[in-house]
Chain A
Amino acid sequence: MPEQATAESVERRVVLDLDRCIECKSCMASCYYGHGRMAGVQFVDIGPAVLPIVCRQCDDPACVEVCPAGAMQRDERGVVSRGIFSCRGCGSCARACPFGVLSLEMVGHQIAKCDLCEDRLQRGLDPRCVAVCPTGALRFATVQQIEAEGLTVIGGRVAGDHPIRRR
């Protein structure tokens, strides 16, 4: 059974276990259909593999800082979301994101943005991409939970502009 999220669990992040991802893109499909046909999960081809990248919900998000319309907001629970009616689709956030998780490709003049499936969080459920992942490669967990299992969280500190290789 997937881990059940709680109201205070937005400290959790969607984490990818590189040793389990089979590149099936189930996460992308679930995000696409769950968010009005805009997928917040993107895929990046790093040569040996094609891996999903999901918003890290940064503590100090560059996307919020650069958004000229104030559409990007980080709420009191730490969830960075994009206001549907404020977003002008200028692409500033996508260019500013150091992780490359925001696609410049726009749907309906809007940037697709992961909101951790807030509707599901409110019901105590994991985000769609995590719930749907057949291999358990995507987890909704805190860094502490992952490290307690002897796994290493990578990508915490970044330099350069490639979302995976720079790690």
Chain B
Amino acid sequence: MSSDGSTRTAEATSARCLLCSVGCPVRAIASGPDHYVPDYMPHAGYVGLCGRGGVLVELLDHPARLLQARRGGEAVETAEAAAQIAEALRRGSSSAIIVDGNTDTDTLATVGRFAADVGARWSLYVPPSDAGLVHGLDTSGCTFVGPEELAEADAFLIIGDIYATHPVAAHWIFEAKAKQSRMPLLLIADPATATAKFATGLYQPALVVGETARAVAAVRTGQAEGLADGGALAGWKEQLQKAKRPAIVVGAEMGYADARALAAEVAVLAKSIGATVCPLTAYGGAWGALRTASANGGICPIEILSSPVDVLLVIGADLVSALGAKAASNVAAANESLYVGPMPNRLSDLASLVVPAAFPFETAGRALLGPDRPVEFEPLMAPPAGVPTVREILQMAGAPGDVRADVSAPCSGPEMPAAADEAGQGEGIRLALAADSIHFDDGSLTGRASWPQSVRGRPLLLMAQPDAEAAGLGDAQTAVIEGPGGTATVEVVVSQERRAGQARASAAFAEVRNVFGWTWDGARPGEPVCVTVRKA
């Protein structure tokens, strides 16, 4: 018997992990009365499961879960709360709904119908880099592949640290490498990353808006003037063209801040060299969510987030953690804010009405993991007794129950417009976000689970050696980042390969995101800013 005492395998259920667009099958098995652990049985195309996927099972019975609808601290019946949501949205002169984009497409389409019925505007929250990638590629006419088809490729251009952001996607790249050990694996990303360890060629873009897109353009044209160390890109196009089945793998990383321009350049390059494109989004359901929003009246989130709203319903998303306090100030300033979701967060603390809902992985549904990758999934487990799904809450509020999303048409917008890089200019170190394989997105979900907390309980600052020396800092020391939005205490990781004057900090911590001071008329969410770093 294992030390957890687990010997039971009955009651296994299957589902998909949507904490990235690989969409791994995930299963929970009983390991005692009312206790479940992730199972690792080969099934349904299973090739592994990263730490984030395992965390889902812990969240199922998390002690902090919302279980009772509350208005101003007083318990209310869920049906009554749902009716109050509809009434409040109808009453408002400027009502809006923002829903987390990692939700099944039929629920999102139901949100669209509900919004129309109550006269509210609605939008999605997906990471801006996901939105840029989808909008830049969806109508491009590229030949898309899923990660599992990468095993057939014989040369790779990889953009982003995808071994960290999408660990299981590495499975098929290693399969391809097993067939051809000298296969080119050209990487545009930071050094000292998991992916860089395996690259045959590396280009480290400067943390300037548009720089990654310019690097991809330079691969195509051979014109690398204006790029720092652009000579490193020489010969990349020839290596890719020489291959029979080249593939471009592009990850949506917060920090490049130019995902739409990057995606457009990827499309042009792919067509010019006959490469397939494998786009990997941070939100597993981002592709379907954006198509659903596009087809069902969803608007650009900036329209809601940058102008006053009197009644705001937020479903699932932790906008304050994801966007920082400044960019989400409008959310906090709404006359009446309503929250529907499975867990409390910085937004639910401000809401006058809070309604518990099932996690997206506790419902059956459909998602689009990529342009040609529709999946139907089952619930990992049933939600706790008395906790309805988002769809059920919307039905209680008067929405129709039979809405099915049509995700067949590609979308090209709406999207947050690109910003100039003015806000990133200035003195100090240019800072961007760094994703990892432990936490999901802003960390508001995985930060509540015990394993991610034990492995990465506080944020890292990945900085260049000259910058660290100048600040009197060494590896594993504690530093304070001071930026336009505030300060954050971090642990320093020094790299000799990293470009001086630029650094990255863990994306999965609200205090780090807040440092950026993102706004809608300056540096927009995801963009690098200049900060100072000092010893704590």
> Do A and B originate from a single complex?
yes
**Complex: A103 Cα to B164 Cα, angstroms:** 25
B122 touches A (CB below 8 Å): no
A30 touches B (CB below 8 Å): yes
**Complex: A25 Cα to B50 Cα, angstroms:** 7
* Contact across chains for A125 and B41 when beta carbons are under 8 A apart: yes
* Contact across chains for A29 and B174 when beta carbons are under 8 A apart: no
**Digit string of A59-100 for contact with B (CB within 8 Å is 1, else 0)?**
000000000000000000000001010000000000000000
**Minimal beta-carbon separation of A79 from chain B (angstroms):** 12
* Contact across chains for B3 and A133 when beta carbons are under 8 A apart: no
**Digit string of B171-184 for contact with A (CB within 8 Å is 1, else 0)?**
10010000000000
**Complex: A36 Cα to B35 Cα, angstroms:** 11
A155 touches B (CB below 8 Å): no
Highest count of chain B CB atoms <10 Å: which of A1, A35, A119 = A119
**Minimal beta-carbon separation of B158 from chain A (angstroms):** 12
Highest count of chain B CB atoms <10 Å: which of A115, A125, A132 = A132
* Contact across chains for A20 and B174 when beta carbons are under 8 A apart: yes
* Contact across chains for A25 and B455 when beta carbons are under 8 A apart: yes
**Digit string of A143-165 for contact with B (CB within 8 Å is 1, else 0)?**
00000000000000000000000
Chain B interface, number of residues (Cβ within 8 angstroms): 39
Q: Which of these, B4, B198, B455, contacts A34 with CB under 8 Å?
A: B4
Kindly list chain A residues whose C-beta atoms are within 8 Å of the C-beta of B9. 123
**Digit string of B137-170 for contact with A (CB within 8 Å is 1, else 0)?**
0000000000000000000000000011001101
Q: Which of these, A26, A34, A118, contacts B1 with CB under 8 Å?
A: A118
**Minimal beta-carbon separation of B60 from chain A (angstroms):** 12
**Minimal beta-carbon separation of A46 from chain B (angstroms):** 12
* Contact across chains for A134 and B54 when beta carbons are under 8 A apart: no
* Contact across chains for B50 and A26 when beta carbons are under 8 A apart: yes
**Digit string of B38-60 for contact with A (CB within 8 Å is 1, else 0)?**
10111000011111001101100
Knowing A24-B51, A33-B37 are in contact, say whether A136-B167 is a contact too (CB < 8 A): no
Q: Which of these, A24, A33, A35, A37, contacts B437 with CB under 8 Å?
A: A24
**Minimal beta-carbon separation of B221 from chain A (angstroms):** 32
Nearest B residue (CB) for A26: B50
**Minimal beta-carbon separation of B415 from chain A (angstroms):** 30
Knowing A24-B164, A24-B437, A26-B49 are in contact, say whether A132-B170 is a contact too (CB < 8 A): no
**Minimal beta-carbon separation of A111 from chain B (angstroms):** 11
* Contact across chains for B1 and A119 when beta carbons are under 8 A apart: yes
Q: Which of these, B3, B42, B54, contacts A29 with CB under 8 Å?
A: B54
* Contact across chains for A136 and B174 when beta carbons are under 8 A apart: yes
* Contact across chains for A29 and B41 when beta carbons are under 8 A apart: no
B6 touches A (CB below 8 Å): yes
**Complex: A26 Cα to B195 Cα, angstroms:** 16
Kindly list chain A residues whose C-beta atoms are within 8 Å of the C-beta of B438. 25
* Contact across chains for A29 and B4 when beta carbons are under 8 A apart: no
* Contact across chains for B42 and A33 when beta carbons are under 8 A apart: no
**Complex: A120 Cα to B4 Cα, angstroms:** 12
**Complex: A31 Cα to B54 Cα, angstroms:** 10
Q: Which of these, A1, A48, A115, A136, contacts B2 with CB under 8 Å?
A: A115
**Complex: A68 Cα to B77 Cα, angstroms:** 58
* Contact across chains for B50 and A115 when beta carbons are under 8 A apart: no
**Complex: A133 Cα to B57 Cα, angstroms:** 18
**Digit string of A125-142 for contact with B (CB within 8 Å is 1, else 0)?**
100100111111000000
Residues of chain B in range 351-397 having any CB-CB distance to chain A below 8 Å: none
Nearest B residue (CB) for A43: B455
A23 touches B (CB below 8 Å): yes
* Contact across chains for A35 and B194 when beta carbons are under 8 A apart: no
Kindly list chain A residues whose C-beta atoms are within 8 Å of the C-beta of B49. 26, 30, 132, 134
Nearest A residue (CB) for B4: A36
Knowing A26-B51, A29-B451, A119-B1 are in contact, say whether A131-B164 is a contact too (CB < 8 A): no
Q: Which of these, A29, A39, A118, contacts B50 with CB under 8 Å?
A: A29
Kindly list chain A residues whose C-beta atoms are within 8 Å of the C-beta of B6. 34, 119
**Complex: A32 Cα to B4 Cα, angstroms:** 10
**Minimal beta-carbon separation of A164 from chain B (angstroms):** 15
**Minimal beta-carbon separation of B499 from chain A (angstroms):** 18
A117 touches B (CB below 8 Å): yes
Kindly list chain A residues whose C-beta atoms are within 8 Å of the C-beta of B171. 134-136
B7 touches A (CB below 8 Å): yes
**Digit string of B414-445 for contact with A (CB within 8 Å is 1, else 0)?**
00000000000000000000000110000000
Knowing A38-B3, A132-B48 are in contact, say whether A24-B37 is a contact too (CB < 8 A): no
* Contact across chains for A22 and B167 when beta carbons are under 8 A apart: yes
Residues of chain A in range 8-32 having any CB-CB distance to chain B below 8 Å: 20, 22-26, 28-30, 32
Kindly list chain B residues whose C-beta atoms are within 8 Å of the C-beta of A34. 2, 4, 6, 37-38
Kindly list chain B residues whose C-beta atoms are within 8 Å of the C-beta of A119. 1-2, 6-7
A49 touches B (CB below 8 Å): yes
* Contact across chains for B48 and A26 when beta carbons are under 8 A apart: yes
**Minimal beta-carbon separation of B54 from chain A (angstroms):** 4
Q: Which of these, A24, A33, A39, contacts B167 with CB under 8 Å?
A: A24
**Minimal beta-carbon separation of A65 from chain B (angstroms):** 22
**Digit string of B183-211 for contact with A (CB within 8 Å is 1, else 0)?**
00000000000110110000000000000
Highest count of chain A CB atoms <10 Å: which of B2, B4, B450 = B2
Q: Which of these, B2, B41, B54, B163, contacts A22 with CB under 8 Å?
A: B163
**Minimal beta-carbon separation of A42 from chain B (angstroms):** 11
Kindly list chain A residues whose C-beta atoms are within 8 Å of the C-beta of B450. 37
Nearest B residue (CB) for A1: B42
Residues of chain B in range 55-72 having any CB-CB distance to chain A below 8 Å: 55, 57-58
* Contact across chains for B58 and A33 when beta carbons are under 8 A apart: yes
Q: Which of these, A36, A123, A131, contacts B3 with CB under 8 Å?
A: A36
Kindly list chain B residues whose C-beta atoms are within 8 Å of the C-beta of A24. 50-51, 163-164, 167, 170, 194, 437
Kindly list chain A residues whose C-beta atoms are within 8 Å of the C-beta of B197. 22, 48-49
- Beyond contacts A22-B194, A132-B40, A133-B48: 16 other A-B pairs, Cβ-Cβ < 8 A, are A2-B42, A23-B194, A24-B170, A26-B48, A26-B54, A29-B55, A33-B38, A33-B54, A33-B451, A36-B5, A49-B197, A82-B3, A115-B2, A119-B7, A131-B40, A135-B48
Q: Name 22 A/B residue pairs within 8 A (Cβ), A-sorted.
A: A20-B174, A22-B163, A22-B164, A22-B167, A24-B50, A26-B50, A26-B437, A30-B38, A30-B54, A33-B38, A34-B2, A35-B2, A37-B450, A38-B3, A39-B451, A48-B197, A49-B197, A82-B3, A118-B2, A134-B47, A134-B168, A134-B170
